[in-house]
Amino acid sequence: MSATITAGGVRLRPIAIPMEHGGWGFLLEPIVAALLLAWSGRGLGLAVAAVASFLLRQPLKVWWSDAAADRRLPRTGVAIAVAAAYFAIAATGLAVAFYASWKEAAPLIVAGPLVITLLWHDVRGRSRDLVPELLGPVALAAVGGSIVMLGGWSFASGCAVWALLSLRALPAVLYVRSRLRLGYGRPTSVALPIVAHVAAIAIALLLARWELAPVSVAPLYAVLLLRGAAGLSRFRRKASAKVVGYSEIGWGLLAVAWITVAFRLTQY
């Protein structure tokens, strides 16, 4: 028997917690990986701010939908209060992260236009479109870049971590979309996810050549390519959206562990 938390008779969960479960993986992967690579109190502050900002989107969407329809419901006031609480937590986390210097926020500033584009799609109820689904993980990966910089890494290294985390996320989005469409019997491109995985391998090798990442990271993307090729082949096993989603959580954990160990075993 599950308890339902309410405020003034209004259910809190639909207002306070985003419904998209896949987004949690793309949020937590860069945070966990970056904190394992370069732990710092300021980095933890940014991690808290990132989680609060991710949660903030949900009450803002509820408020916006009511405001756009020119209506004032009991949930509207609750959404405003929840949004204010998330905003306060995010602001506190940012203050902890950047009280001494803002130079480590460079990846976040560069990712700013991506966030604006995401919000534009959000308020129009188009967060499931391909563009926001691709831009979202890249924007979230920028948090990982800033966290390692807060832990003492250089700007170039921070950008490399951002790129490596994005190389995990972007092909994954394309793969999952194609895998689900195949499961529903809808037309889709099988080649596009495969090309994206191959490009990820090439970019990882390029980063290694530039001495911005260990070469031992590249095989991770080869493994993900094999996963993608098998999952999109005619020999794939039938799987529900939930099963595909949970499997991606497992692949995300593998990516975090692989990237962390690769950097730990190499001096960067």
Q: Cβ of 124: how many Cβ atoms within 10 Å?
A: 12
pLDDT value, residue 240: 87
Q: Which whole-number Å values give the CA distances from 201 to 48, 139, 158, 221, 255, in the listed order? A: 31, 20, 19, 5, 13
Residue 18, pLDDT above cutoff 60? yes
Of residues 104 and 6, more confidently modeled? 104
Q: What is the mean pLDDT of residues 159-177?
A: 97
pLDDT tens for 175-203 read: 999 999 998 888 898 999 999 999 999 99
- Nearest of 170, 177, 104, 94 to residue 136 by alpha carbon: 170
Q: How far apart are the first and last CA of the chain?
A: 51
Tell me if 115 sits within 8 A of 127, measured CB to CB.
no
Query: Which sign, positive or negative, has the C-alpha torsion 230, 232, 235, 239?
Result: positive
Beta bridge partners of 10: 7
Quickly state the pLDDT bin for 4 (edges 50, 70, 90): low
pLDDT value, residue 3: 53
pLDDT tens for 216-247 read: 999 999 999 999 999 999 889 888 888 998 89
Quickly state the pLDDT bin for 1 (edges 50, 70, 90): very low
pLDDT value, residue 7: 61
pLDDT value, residue 8: 60
pLDDT value, residue 268: 60
pLDDT value, residue 40: 97
Q: What is the mean pLDDT of residues 28-56?
A: 97
pLDDT value, residue 39: 97
Residue 27, pLDDT above cutoff 90? yes
pLDDT tens for 112-122 read: 999 888 878 87
Residue 38, pLDDT above cutoff 70? yes
Residue 96, pLDDT above cutoff 90? yes
Q: What is the mean pLDDT of residues 50-54?
A: 96
Q: What is the mean pLDDT of residues 151-167?
A: 96
> The whole model's pTM is what?
0.92
pLDDT value, residue 21: 65
Of residues 19 and 23, more confidently modeled? 23
Tell me if 254 sits within 8 A of 217, measured CB to CB.
no
Q: What is the mean pLDDT of residues 99-103?
A: 92
pLDDT value, residue 70: 81
Residue 126, pLDDT above cutoff 80? no
Residue 2, pLDDT above cutoff 50? no
